[in-house]
Structure 1
């Protein structure tokens, strides 16, 4: 009876001395540097995927309810620990102390074009921005935010798309969670793109 109650409460070890599923998930997720899929966790921990999924969601709810300084999020097709938003400034001050390189305005503009128009060629990005974006695209690719996505059938230009790392950094599950652009665009946006430079 006591062992069953301990298991239901999520005690750290089982009868055999092995860690509980909750403890095992926390330990694995603590050391990952990118989101891990439920199926991967199920394989590593040798447990059914649905049991992993339920436990992850329970842990995420528990961390939120307890007001912990971190939370467990499902992003980019997997799960990972993140600093809770209200603690971000403190962590940023501790980790960076103002030394982390931020994206330039040009990089942010280029990344936005790729995110919303992907797959897109460098020429199309340059046409939309009105300036050559080759160097910026190389920087974004080097940082792992964009990647090649094949070539255009007619001109054979290399196409680019955002990466799962992009989704992870923005805390998105998929591109459908990007905010809508329509409220920020002029009414005649189609005509603007067709006008010669």
Structure 2
């Protein structure tokens, strides 16, 4: 083909060209894909369907949820999932479990038989180093105090009836085992082994003043005895027979009183059981004391 003929054919083609928007639409099969033409404008986007109102949605569409039997009865997968994720549904369950644990009352201790109670009391009394009260024994054994008291009386009566070399008696507000007075000579020989631990006359006099005048200051004791008693007071405190119990309000001096060991040594329950001192004192003892103060 010559150049002239080629120019004529291109001119004919340009004259016969029709724009795409002027071309007639021809139906195409469903399975035939027509490549989009770049010059063709995109079709209009479809208008979205109107969304229903929230009130109508809540009125017309029922909420989806677990069946009532699963919510109230079975511990299904939904409950397990809520518990594992720590959601709000797990809180009431933990709270109710806590309330159940708090309301469970402790089981009472089983009641001991008389034989077992007697043996337990004897075992404790053998190891105590000071009188122990009925209340403490009842708390340790987890038994009512109404049973412990009569049982201690029964044990004490049994020791006395059997003629043992020891006895159970009440002293300093509690109970403790003691050797019998008729065997004191042998016990003293074994314990002392020739060593004298007796109190001096000055210590005995000072201890008597403390016992009958307690609480009392050292100056008061010295005034009653007529001599300085500071060293004797220190001896009594070291032996555990006297102790400090506060200070006097006016002078600020230390006050002294007898101890539980003092009651044990004398076999007394309280200081009220001390014998009356009035028959052994002169009539003007208070005037003498005031004069020397």
TM-score by length of 2: 0.59
Greater Cα shift, 143-152 or 187-196:
187-196
1:173 aligns with 2:265: no
Query: Cα distance, 1:100 vs. partner?
Result: 4.3
Write the distance in 2 (CA, Å) between the matches of 1:40 and 1:173: 17
C-alpha distance in 2 between matches for 1:184 and 1:65: 37
1:148 alignment counterpart: 244
Provide the rounded CA distance (Å) in 2 between the counterparts of 1:98 and 1:56: 36
Matched residue SS, 1:153: coil
Contact 2:223 2:292 survives alignment (8 Å): no
Q: What are the ranges of 5 or more consecutive residues in structure 2 without an aligned counterpart?
A: 1-112
SS of corresponding position for 2:124: helix
User: TM-score if structure 1 supplies the norm length?
Assistant: 0.87
What are the superposed Cα offsets for residues 80-119 of structure 1, whole Å, 9 maximum, x if unpaired?
0000111111111122122141111111111100000000
Q: Which has the higher contact order (CA 8 A, sep 6+)?
A: 1
Partner of 1:15: none
**Superposition pairs of residues 84-163 of structure 1, within 5 angstroms:** 84-163=180-259
Q: What is the number of equivalent residue pairs in this alignment?
A: 181
RMSD: 1.4
Q: Structure 1 CA distance, aligned partners of 2:150 and 2:292?
A: 55
Tell me the CA shift for residue 193 of structure 1.
Answer: 1.9
Q: Distance in 2 between matches of 1:136 and 1:173?
A: 25
More strand by share: 1
Q: Secondary structure at the match of 2:204?
A: helix
- Match in the other structure for 2:45: none
SS of equivalent to 2:275: coil
Unaligned runs of 5+ residues in structure 1 are: 1-6, 11-19
Asked if structure 1 preserves the Cα contact closer than 8 Å seen for 2:165 and 2:180, the reply is yes
Structure 2: distance between partners of 1:119 and 1:127: 15
Q: 1:80 aligns with which of 176, 197, 200?
A: 176
Bigger mean CA offset, 37-46 vs 182-191: 182-191
